[in-house]
Each structure stands twice: as C-alpha cells, then as structure tokens.
A and B are shown apart, each in its own frame.
Chain A
C-alpha cells in the first residue's frame, strides 16, 4: 500500500468516526469524493424538485377562486422557489455551480421529484398537492434535518417550517371542498384518486432496490429508509383523509393492529419506472418550460452583467 492511500484510508476512517459520532460535516472539512458527489446529486435533485414543483401549482394562480386563495397560492409557490434557492446554495458549498446544475436539468442528466410530471387539472389538485406532496416532503425532510452535512441539515430545518405551513393550508382548502357542494366534494375525491399513488412513489423504490440507499445511510446523508418513511406517511395521512370524508383509492388499505401500522397495497412500479424515465404526461413540458424561461431571460442576465461591469469601471475610474 502506498503512503498516499494509507492516508486516504485514515482520513476516511476519521470521517466515518465523526459521522458515527453525529458530528456535522462542514464545507471546508475533508470528505470522501463519493460523499461529495452523492450529496451534490441529492441536494441538486431536491432543489430542482422545488423549482419544477412551481409549475403544476403555479398553473392555478391566475384561476384561484378568491383573492385570499390566490395570495396564499402565490406566496406558497414563491416559498418553493425560495427553497430551491437555499438548496442550490447548499449544493454550491460542495463546489457545484448553479449554472452547471441548471444545465444538467435541461439536458436530462439531473432528476427532480417525479410527482411533478403529473398534471394539475382542477382547483382541488392545489389543496391536494399541499396536503399530500408537501406532507410527503415533510416526512422525508424531518428525517433530513439530521443529515450529516451541515448546510443541508440547516436548509432542511428552515424549509420544514414552511412546508408544514403549506401542508396545513392545503388541507384547509380541501376542508372547504369536502364541506362544500357535491361537485366540490367530487372534485376533491378525484384529486385524491389521482395524487395518492404518485405521493407514495415520492419515497422511491423499496429498500431492497434502492440504488444509493446503503451508502447514504452509512454516511448518514439519509437517516431513514424509503419504506420506513413511506409507512410514516401513510400512517399520518389516512386519519386525515377520514376526517375529510374522502376515500383513499386503495382496496388493500387497512389498520394492522399487530404491526401498529396501516397495511397498504403495492405501488404500480411499472408506472413509477415509466414516469421516472421520462414518459410521464408532463416530463417534456416541465423541462422545456424551465429551459424556455431560462433562454428567454438570457438577454436580461447579459444586461445585468454588462451594467454591473460598467458600474464597476466607473467607480474604479472615479
């Protein structure tokens, strides 16, 4: 063994000891290349999800039914953009640039939460997304507050507070529908029918099939397995659906006294694969819309740079 690799192994051991000891890893600390890459992948994917998620929800801002609902929705979509910003910054502390991350999104090399490839069709979808999608995000993000990378952990703590707010607002807007007319109630049920399974898919493949899970758990990037998180989500959400008087579209769903959890049916993994690999209804639109806004804005960003450069020149000359 060369001296270099001995040092490397030693560094890696020290790194793992710190992780095991629940110490946070900070940007300037030594870290294995795999840890860095894994984190950049996960954080940028998370950032893209926040940003792409603005589209299905933003789709209803102009049509929100009341002034209050319009403002709540616009502020919510704005928050999601803000989450995108914190997360891009967290990824930047690992040496990734926002330009590169956005380029990877446009070229299809970076993923985002697959649920945003489903269309938002009615007003009830907005409440349902807040309730289920933000709800699922919270379950995942609460566990990520304890992730080993400091900037990511801190971003999660900040983001989680806002997500809980979103989830309550979404649920509250569904209560209005559930207590409303027969049409409104049907609208809410239809939205639940369409968003339930994609929400369960948000937690990813079963633990046994999850490509990055083992190493991520060891490095404490991930703190709970996909299946555990999914179960947490189902357990917390079923009573909420009951309260709304809505029916979860799963004939196998029932309380298991022995396990102390709900049993639920199997996800359609073929659909999961299909949407993840690009064949969902909106995959192409989502990326194309993002890319178009980016390309259309190029002249504005150029102008901003040119103006800043002129200003800097002037203040130098002065």
Chain B
C-alpha cells in the first residue's frame, strides 16, 4: 500500500496520479496567497482587542493617520454594508464598534506603504476601553447575562430515541473533556484586493476554503452587488476548517476600495492563532447502559461545546457531536442533550472532524469502560454492536448506503502488531521525550500500551442544506479544461478532477483551470465533501460532453469542434432534525478504526506514539496515493490532539499563540502509520462509489491513542490532550 505505490501519467480513476501542482510546489514556483504582488500595492494590518470583554469608549485614529506612508485607517464607521458576518448567523462585527467580545477581535484596519509602517500605525491608534469581567465558563453561559444581543446559547439539541427510560443490566458513567485545537495550517491567512477602475467593484485573490460564500459575505459587508466582487482562490497553504469562515476578506477589500490601490494582507503566526476559529473545547458526561452480554441498551449523554464569542458554525458542529454521540454502534434507545454556548473565549467553528472528534473521544472511552466492566474484549464489544446497513442511527435515520463497520473494525484489529522495538531496547531518541528527556529513567519505567477505537463521520452537508457543486467542462482539439470553484487547499482535488475527466472522456490531456467566481459555486472544501460533490459535478459535466462527442462520432461528423457543458451536482436531499432530534439529516457516512501503540514514561508522564494502524471505509479509491496522504496527515492531527496540541486559554486569552508553545507533531513525534485495509464498498449515488476520506483519520485516532495510554498506565485519561501532569500526579 505504501512504498510500492507508483505514479502514472495520464492516470484515470483508481490509479495513483501525480498532482499537477506538485512540480511548481517543489520548485518554490507555486504562488500562495502571501506570495501575491501587484504594482503600487499597499499592505494592510489589523488592530485587535487586547481584552476578552470590554466596552469601547473611544477610538482615536488621528495619530495613526499622521504617520507618513499611512493611506487609510478604517473603523466600523467605514463599513458601508452589513456590519456583521457569519457563516450560519451573521453576528460577528466586521470591525467592533461598541464592545469587544474576545481577545483578538478586530477594531480597525490600516493600509500603508509597507508592513512595518502598517503595524506602527496600528499601534498608534488610541482606544479607550472600559474593561469588563469576561464570561469564560461555558457551563455558566446559558444563565449568565447575555454578552451579545442574540444571547449566550447558539443551539440546544436533544435527541430522544426509542424508550428513553430503559435501563441496562450494566451501567457505566464517565466525564470527558477535549481541549481547544488549532488548525495550524502552515500558510497564514492572506489575500490581495485590487479595486476596479471605477471604484465600485473589486477583485480579490484569497486563500480560502469556501470561495462563493466568502464573496457573498464580503459583498454584503461592502454594500456592493456580488457581481462587483470577482474572486479567485489564491494558493492555499492548508486549511482544515480554519478558512471556512472569513477572516481578512472584508478588511482587505474595504482598504482597496478606500485607497483606490491594491492592498495585500497577510497574518503573521501569532495573529493567525486569533484570526480564525478553532476546534470547540468540549465537556461531556456519558452513561452507557448494556445487557450482560454486551449488547448496548441505551446511551445517555450531555455535551457542552464552547463556541466562543461568535456563532460561526457552532450549530452544525453541535449537530454532529450530538447526532454521533453514540458512535458507530447500534443503540436502540438514547437521550442525548447537546448545547453550544457563547462565551468570551476565542470563537470556535470548523475543524477537520467537526464535532465528531470530541464525541468519539468520549464514546470510545465509554466502550472501553463497558468492556472492562463486563470482562469482554474491547474489540469484541465493538463488533457485537457495530452498525450495519439496515440499522438505524440514534436520529432514527436508516443506514441505506455502504456501512462496512464490522469490516473496518476487524481489519484494523486483526492486523499484526508492528514489530517495533520496545522501550527497553529502543534508541534513546525513540523513547518518550526523545533527546529532550530530563531523566535517564529505568527501562522498566517506560511501558507500552495498545488501544483501539472506531468512528463514524457524516459526509457532505447535513440537515436539509441544499448542498451542491458546479463544474464546467470544455473539450477543444482533444484538450479538456475543467473549471470548478472548488478550493484546492492541499487535499488533491486538482488530481481527482483530472482523473475523473480522463476516465469519463477517455482523453488524457486535462487541465484544471483556476478556481474563481466565473463559474458557479462548488461549496466548501470541508465535510469530506469535494471528491463527492465537485467530483460528482465534474463527472456530470464530462458525461454530457461525452454524449455530445459520441453523437458526433456516431453521426460520422468531425469531432474536432468545441464541446462544453456545465453541471450542478446535488446530493440526495436531507431533512432537518425534528423536536426530538429525529430525521434523515445526513447524506452519507464513513467509518474508520484505529489501533494505537504508545510508550509512556511513568515518571515523566511523557508519551511516544509508536504506531497507528488503521482501516477505513473509502467507498472507492479514486487515487490510492493521495488517500494514503490524507490518512497519514489526518492521523498526525489526531495524534497531535491526543498528546500535545492545545490552545491554552486563560481568562479568554490564548497564552501559547506561537509554534514555540503550541506544538504540532514533528517528524520525530509522528508514529509509523500502517494501513491495514482500505475497504472499497461503493457508495450508491456517489461518483464512482467514492466516499470522502479527509476527516475519519483524525477522529478515532485521538480516542485510540488515549485508550493506549490508559492501557499502559491504568490512568483514567478523561481529557485530551493528555498532559504529563495527568499521568504522574
């Protein structure tokens, strides 16, 4: 599956095609958003709140404007259109006017000749605040004084399924917590806006995941028609959910329109940490009921997600956490309450795994507890309860698509344990803590543990959202051009689009045009949806073109002309959840299992993740090499959340907003990844039967590492990331 994978030029569906953008990327010739440049360009910078909660008494921009080289200083008074934005509910000010609700909230933006002058101007703006005590406890938020006119609760969702009063012969309870994770994409937020000559429109190049909704939101705030805002996805240095909502889009366009000059904005790393939404911290209480033989009877849970200061995608994240709170298991009865609240903490929203990550950590800990209580092997317990086609979820939705849950669990669990030397014999560098160890440690104080976990993830958008993608395909002189606004953020859609076009059209020469707004929306590069949605759009457009070509051929006409088709692909409609959280709210599902092997230093509380073995339900592999890359990369983010990654927030302030203090896995932290199986069970009505593969790798990997640490140490491990003090104190 790994080293033998070879690449094929002109590859079709199912082959390991090479990315068309890889050669420029390895040569440093690929232009990311922060590499953009325009003649006469100014640089933008943002003034951000130093307080988690404060009333703004006055803002004096005069000292900033007085600095030579400063061309504009804009505040909320300068926002001509809608003053707020937000993916689900526009509740977040473009620039704060009366109050600030989180540390890092923008109040003013500046355009200047160079970045340094812009930053000096930001510092020169004088703001008078009346500092207020911040609301930082999510449990207290619902009953606290509202910190926003829309109130402190983004959404409450209760699932009542089957007999909510049923009781099992065995009951296990637990409380769990997940810390705030950052997407930490390497290319910080960046964008370039170029005003139209007439000053009434603007062109934007931006590193984004969701181009058309960026444009809708930005145009509304600028007070211009969407047609006057043309936008192109600029090279994107990773995303993982952190670019689904807008950051600098409105700001950079406002500055360009005001100055009449091109303006570029790029965040630095410390600003990026406050410049996008994070993974929701969660507190979860669970009670699992089962029969003595291990059959699940009921799951009760209460999940509290801290959405921070503004709504972003909190309500959809909450729906995922709540709908999948019981995991990939048959649960006849359930009472699950979810609540997402507003606080003065940093805003949270989309991150890879989107609510399922948090719930999975808890439901898998519960399954292990239950196995322990019953004296059943944890894998057997999961197999006994594994969902299968024809089963119902706790939302009462019937599983009609591919659901090889048993297959992924078996394949992962049956893979031989890796032959990796144990801690006693290992190289010093390969021990927990590596070269940075502060104690020599007796070899027998380093212990190995193994843990297992499984997960479910909904694919594409849920709850009645009309989810679609658009592609235009042109064939001219045997060359195919695919035009789709799907944001390529690194996931490899550009390759997948080529492969699908070649497969359907039986032509090798396929070019993927830049993603821009001259074609219809492709929706967001999130929810593991682009292979299915934009892949479906490309397939649909290609099939129409193929028919045109075949018709000409069959009629004996020349096929040297130009063929063109545009296709909008929608997934099967879903419905909203009813008052009991019941309904066919989700379009499709993917399943995965992970087994983790860890070494733990019992004295230092340091963990080394040695190996992760996985099996994943992929529907059908479009590009095996890219699938491996998604799986390894997703597991890295899961390992990160399990043992090292947390934005530490004190009184609303992130205290570790740098790569010095917010640690993401390095090559030394990453375990070997063994892919035991990629289960190809085609999904009905999906292009070539493919399922999205981006998110499952970072869901149960977290829970598996936590389980392995429990296995090694006997500690309860109720919280991720696991900190040394959780293991030794």
Q: Do A and B come from one complex?
A: no
Question: What is B's interface to A at a CB cutoff of 8 Å?
Answer: none
Question: What is A's interface to B at a CB cutoff of 8 Å?
Answer: none
